[in-house]
Amino acid sequence: MNPEEFQHSEDSRIIREKKEMRRELVSRRDALPREVRRRNSLLASHHALSLINQLRKDKEGLFVLTIFLSFGSEIDTRPVIAGLFKGPEPNILLLLPSIRDSRDIVLRPWKKEDPLVPSPFGILEPETKHSFSPQDVDLFIVPGVGFDPAGHRLGYGKGYYDRLLSRRNLRGTRVGMAFEEQVVPSIPFAQKDVPIHYLVTENGWRSCG
């Protein structure tokens, strides 16, 4: 087997393993009772806000943050977003992901009074057509079907976040947010996969790697 054939075989193996693990972890997450998901989402949101505040200490001026809006049985990120805007007007620019006009994620600004519209997948996103470059982002909070302690992330297989996080010259910290049931010892990964720096669950936040 030549190197090219070996790499193709290895890529195929990783794709198969990811598909099987994805099916198992989505089923595991879907099986969580609604009340457990609600309670653990609130706990994880508290930890996420703690991590955000710690990371903001190292940044002078405007802090640019993007976070996913939850869909289906995903961990609920709405308490994080609500917490960002409590009290005096924070020095934060919040960007939400949008895919309605592109095969790649577009980051659009959002404030709590701004309207949201459904994407082609039914996930809400800002109505505005304004957007910001990923290179402007200080902190990416991203979804995933599964994560491991090394920071490897298992997505939904569409590649939206892989393409976003692999953009050149990104300076932002990468954070995954999920239920503890979605954390596994090891996730199959390819060279093109981009690991996260921190993981947040209902048990707290931890450094990866």
| Phi and psi torsions of 39, nearest 5° | -65, -45
Distance of CA 111 to the CA centre of its chain: 19
User: What is the C-alpha separation between 76 and 177, in angstroms, rounded?
Assistant: 9
Topology adopted by domain 3-207: Rossmann fold (3.40.50)
Mean pLDDT for the stretch of residues 145-172: 94
For the stretch 11-54, pLDDT in tens is: 788 889 999 999 999 999 999 999 999 999 999 999 999 999 99
pTM greater than 0.95: no
What is the overall mean pLDDT for the chain?
92
| Residue 136, pLDDT above cutoff 50 | yes
For the stretch 60-116, pLDDT in tens is: 889 999 999 999 999 999 999 999 988 666 789 999 999 988 889 999 999 988 999
Give the domain ranges of the chain. Answer: 3-207
Residue written as token pair 């505005």 = 128
What amino acid occupies position 188?
P
Q: Which residues are CB-neighbours of 31 under 8 A, at least 6 positions away?
A: none
User: What is the C-alpha separation between 130 and 163, in angstroms, rounded?
Assistant: 20
